């Protein structure tokens, strides 16, 4: 069991299914302490498929982006967001200004002056 240092909650356990961004989904086979270069390091042993077995130091989990698989509820929420209708985008400053200039040109073209009308623009 690998614990989060801040909250002391269990993050990964033996048998958990995880996603390693570079390789894809896999399963944690074991959590062992190994000696590498004279240092004792805790590593996760992850099986990606029959041929690929990774040893990942626990300290590097966050940097590598290792995470658990998403739950069914989280996937439903994501699909709902993707299916939702897109919100109408507001005009940016340049588009607003070009609309004002077009309106002003229209008024001048047809002989209207700003004294006879309230300020439109």
Per-residue pLDDT of the chain (121 residues), as tens digits, is: 666 655 434 588 899 999 988 889 999 999 999 998 899 999 999 999 889 999 999 888 888 888 888 888 988 988 988 888 877 766 665 565 566 555 555 555 555 555 555 444 4
Q: Where are the domains of the chain?
A: 2-83
Q: 2-83 — its CATH code?
A: 2.40.10.170
Write out the two tokens for 54.
Answer: 């990774």
**DSSP assignment, residue 77?**
H
Instruction: Report CA-CA distances (Å) from 61 to 16, 28, 46, 55.
Output: 14, 13, 12, 11
């Amino acid at each position: 069991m690998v614990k989060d240092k801040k909250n002391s909650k269990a993050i990964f356990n033996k048998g958990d299914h995880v996603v390693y961004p570079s390789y894809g989904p896999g399963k944690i086979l074991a959590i062992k302490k190994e000696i590498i270069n004279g240092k004792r390091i805790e590593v996760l042993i992850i099986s990606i498929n029959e041929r690929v077995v990774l040893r990942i130091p626990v300290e590097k989990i966050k940097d590598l982006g290792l995470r658990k698989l998403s739950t069914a509820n989280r996937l439903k929420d994501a699909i709902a967001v993707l299916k939702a209708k897109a919100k109408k985008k507001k005009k940016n400053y340049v588009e607003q200004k070009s609309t004002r200039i077009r309106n002003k040109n229209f008024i001048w073209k047809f002989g209207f002056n700003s004294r006879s009308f309230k300020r439109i623009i």
